Amino acid sequence: MELAEQLPGAQILNEDGSNREFLLSEGMESTEAFVALTNIDEENVLLTLFAKKHSNGKLVTKVNRLEFDDILAGLDLGSVVYPKYMTCDYIV
């Protein structure tokens, strides 16, 4: 609800992100952006790869663990956001 209020021009979906039929039925093919923000890195990566296959929109993927950043860099996941890096940058 908060996101919908702050972004009135955006369509905010709150559903099981692994439900492929739901994502496609909501118009993933015509979306301008797809943001994967679950707390599970692997799910975010898979969802982004799915979105990449079905959309030409901007992709944003949240990843918490830094250990595999070199592998993720080769997957073309769009903008990969690491909350730990963002927090460190903010503190510095």
- Residues 5-15 have a mean pLDDT of 85
Fold of 2-91: Rossmann fold (3.40.50)
pTM of the model: 0.80
Do residues 87 and 60 lie in contact, with contact meaning Cβ atoms separated by under 8 Å? no
**For residue 21, what are its two tokens?**
């039929």
Model confidence pLDDT, tens digit, residues 28-50? 999 899 999 889 999 999 999 99
- Return phi, psi of residue 79, to 5°: -85, 115
Rounded mean pLDDT of the chain?
A: 87
